[in-house]
Structure 1
């Protein structure tokens, strides 16, 4: 089955559309990457989205308009991915949508909201769409994150030792071989906030780590940031920009106003590396497979290597066949495939849920939904095999 996975992460800068050919054979799921396209939100939509996110206030009218605009943007990306990567033969779209709020209180997740109305995607592509993945896990007592943990476990199964998958997005998350999974804290979120603030919005992120490379880590600021209580919470746990946002950074910088932008960015980059490395050590990983936008920041990767020490193998997911920039989009393609087949997409030990759940809601395509004639056993495949290491990126 050819599936398009759509993803926009906590950096909310672009939509990734990854196409995969997925084949289920017993307890083995084979994924053949067909390629990735990445399309940025237009400046106006991104500004409107940023203005509506916590801790800002918004209106239901604004949420409705954003739900529609983001749904249309996702639909355009899906149409392009079907045409360019699947030769018009895609059969299913799995859309994560855009997270705008994850309601966490006293260590428990009570609700979540991802927008980007899937009806626009179904109408534009004619295909069934699986969306709204997170609420079912939350209803079962889970954190609703990190949902990629099941895919990570399937993918890393069979590797020697105790491998861990680390994703460096706006927020970083880790999945360990034993099923432990959690958000480690901010990877790019605070870096992006600092860069955007310092440049008046001219720059959205630290391209190639250039600012961090010119700066010096300030130990006092780093110590203040590391005192954040979230880091000491036990797994499973989840966080987001509801906590790690620009006002949070402004508060942390009080008393450090004399620091240069470069020093602030260098310190935030070290924070991301330190908290990620602490998480790796906590799960007793024997190797780390890294993905996400943070892999394109050479300073962050160098800091991470230094924090982990020379004895810890550190490689990107590209080396195992999944492009680092596309891994989460491919993961949601897998989760959509599992949902269509009536298979669970969660690991209770990863999210803290009472039981595994079939995730998401399905919006039928023009010809309804192609339910499989015979459903497999009601368990997720044990193993994910990536077929070939090549894919097209556009």
Structure 2
């Protein structure tokens, strides 16, 4: 299987290939590798220009849906050829989130683009896509969807392990099903680099490389206090957020009155904001360890601040330490969700998303062979496939 993912940072399309084998109540995942391909500069710029709070047109949405679908298709073709030796059977595509409609604490709708027909046409494979809307229709937040995969993966570990993803937005999953977005991870940091540094203004992709700016800067207490006043942090779980809230205009508003601050001080303050809000959520979950993934794990300053906030009693490890590559974890997770959909199994945990019931997720775009799903015989179709309760990574350590 191939899982396709582009997160809220929209820095690249990740194509993760896995082999999945259902063994009783265990789903055994063998990582086959990851290909990560950035959007070309023109497409990234067009996407950034169209995202909220900017205005856009249906013509722009149509063009982006097509161009992102074609970019996802190219990544899937490359992953099948390079990682699966041309033997992939199914593609699961998360698409690119462009809007998450939240009103009065309830998600009313969600939109991921990247037309899956282009992926099916280019690969010849069936494609499961558009995962989030079904959970929203069932009264859920539509996020974080990887919570089911995290729960299966964490099951059996001692204590209370918490899975943490540090993308544009940070989210956690605890073993009891608690899962939610804690707030920004890299979203505001990236925005500050883009708006406040010459290098960021000149680049199509701006971020605090190796956490260098944060490491040089000093946290500004008054600015940090203003940022922590954000009402989202006080909302009860389940809850979800995105760049609809934490966008460059939000940052500009927060910086009013602090225009003289050096860029490195602003970035240091925003990095501490992420560490504080994540640590608060981790402590509230009663965590005994944190298993982190996502682009934020490559930021030494952020990881150091998070470890400082949590202290030695709650160690922070990368998912790589358990055999699950942090850079590929979300694309692998959507491959698992696609596998569940293909077998008619639910991919949500109501305790995580707030939905009324579990749901089989996504919509299916047939491949060249029509509607027949791979790996299923007629006997399989007559006999329900058991729901796995554990995810085991082949060769998992620790």
TM-score interval, smaller chain: over 0.9
SS in 1 for 2:62: helix
State the distance in 1 between where 2:312 and 2:87 align. 46
What's 1:382 paired with? 389
1:362 aligned residue: 364
Alignment of 1:123-272 (within 5 A): 123-198=121-196, 199=198, 200-202=201-203, 204-272=206-274
SS at match of 2:260: coil
Task: State whether residues 24 and 386 of structure 2, in contact with CA within 8 Å, keep that contact through their aligned partners in structure 1.
Answer: no
Please identify runs of 4+ aligned residues in structure 1 that moved more than 6 A: none
Q: SS of the residue aligned with 1:76?
A: helix
Offset from partner CA, 1:16-40 (integer Å, 9 cap, x none) = 0000000112211000000000000
1:43 aligns with 2:41: yes
CA distance in 1, matches of 2:332, 2:133: 20
**Which secondary structure state, in structure 1, belongs to the residue aligned with residue 165 of structure 2?**
strand
8 Å CA contact 2:214, 2:265 repeated in 1? yes
Could you say what secondary structure the match of 1:251 adopts?
helix
Distance in 2 between residues matched to 1:193 and 1:201, nearest whole Å: 13
Question: How far apart in 2 are the matches of 1:4 and 1:389?
Answer: 20
Asked if the contact 2:99–2:244 (Cα under 8 Å) also holds between the matched residues in 1, the reply is: yes
Give CA deviations for 1:358-378 in whole Å, capped at 9, x if unaligned: 000000000123332315647
Gaps of 5+ in 1: none
Name the CA distance, whole Å, in 2 between partners of 1:54 and 1:75.
25
Would you say the 8 A contact 1:93–1:336 is kept in 2?
Answer: yes
Counterpart among 83, 93, 100 of residue 98 in structure 2: 100
Aligned pair partner of 2:78 in 72, 77, 80: 80
Structure 2 portions without partners, runs of 5+: none
CA contact (8 A) 2:26 2:388 kept: yes
Aligned residues: 388
Shift of 1:201: 3.9
Would the aligned equivalents of 1:163 and 1:287 in 2 still touch at CA under 8 Å? yes
CA distance in 1: counterparts of 2:79 and 2:184, whole angstroms: 30
* Equivalence for 1:311: 313
2: CA distance between counterparts of 1:234 and 1:378?
Answer: 35
Deviation at 1:231, TM superposition (A): 0.4
Matched, 1:69 2:76: no
